[in-house]
Amino acid sequence: MSRVLISALLFLPCVPTFAQEMAPPKEVTDLGWMVGTWSGSGKVPYEGKEIELSVMMTFSIDGQFLKSKSSMVEGGMKMSETMMLGWSGAKSEYVSYSFTSFAPTPGIKHGKLDGANLVMTSEPWEVSGMTVVSRTTYTKLSDTKFRTKMEFKNGEKWDNAMELELTQK
């Protein structure tokens, strides 16, 4: 019994320090405007035509990360994604890992705030049997609206794959 008491007495003073270290960094809390559930729909270009797209995204702070869970229906096909976004102080950049239903490996993105835009660019990764590099830009429009834009790198230029305005529920 005395060992348990001594261990507890040694551990308890460390709890506030651990709690502070577990708090998200300021750079993650700066994205707190994204927390909540968002939805939007529209049309996206695909092989020379436009197809319907609807998106539901839920953002939350999870430990030191901004967590996103998304569900999408594009042209009748359902897709899902879970993303964990954190801050690398050593590199002064955001880093995210995205796990999707349409790729066998996670997408790893690196990014920075550029004014009101959070711009995240992926490392090359396998998506639906192709190696791609993507760029996603999140732009706060108001307290209840933001825009997400996804582009794919094509040689030296970026092709627009999707641009959608989302509204907070």
- For residue 80, being part of any structural domain is answered with yes
Least confident of 4-18, 50-64, 104-118: 4-18
What is the mean pLDDT of the segment spanning 96-117? 94
- For residue 74, being part of any structural domain is answered with yes
- For residue 7, being part of any structural domain is answered with no
- For residue 54, being part of any structural domain is answered with yes
- For residue 119, being part of any structural domain is answered with yes
pLDDT for 22 equals 82
Please report the sign of the dihedral spanned by the C-alpha atoms of residue 131, residue 70, residue 81, residue 122: positive
CA distances from 123 to 20, 40, 42, 127 (A): 31, 27, 27, 12
What is the mean pLDDT of the segment spanning 143-167? 95
Q: Is the pLDDT score of 152 beyond 90?
A: yes
**Per-residue confidence band for 46, with pLDDT thresholds at 50, 70 and 90:** confident
pLDDT for 163 equals 92
Domain containing residue 153: 23-168
pLDDT tens for 111-144 read 999 888 999 999 999 988 889 999 999 999 999 9
**Per-residue confidence band for 12, with pLDDT thresholds at 50, 70 and 90:** low
- For residue 93, being part of any structural domain is answered with yes
Q: Element (H or E) spanning 153, and its range? A: strand 145-154
- For residue 10, being part of any structural domain is answered with no
Number of domains in the chain: 1
- Which CATH number does the domain housing residue 41 bear? 2.40.128.20
Which residue, chain included where needed, has tokens 């995204």?
A: 57
The answer to whether 80 and 70 have CB atoms below 8 angstroms apart is: yes
Global pTM reads 0.84
Q: How many residues does the chain have?
A: 169
Q: Which residues of 91-127 are buried (b: 16+ CB within 10 A; e: fewer)?
A: eeebbbebebeebeebbebebeeeeeebbbbbeebeb
Q: Is the pLDDT score of 104 beyond 60?
A: yes
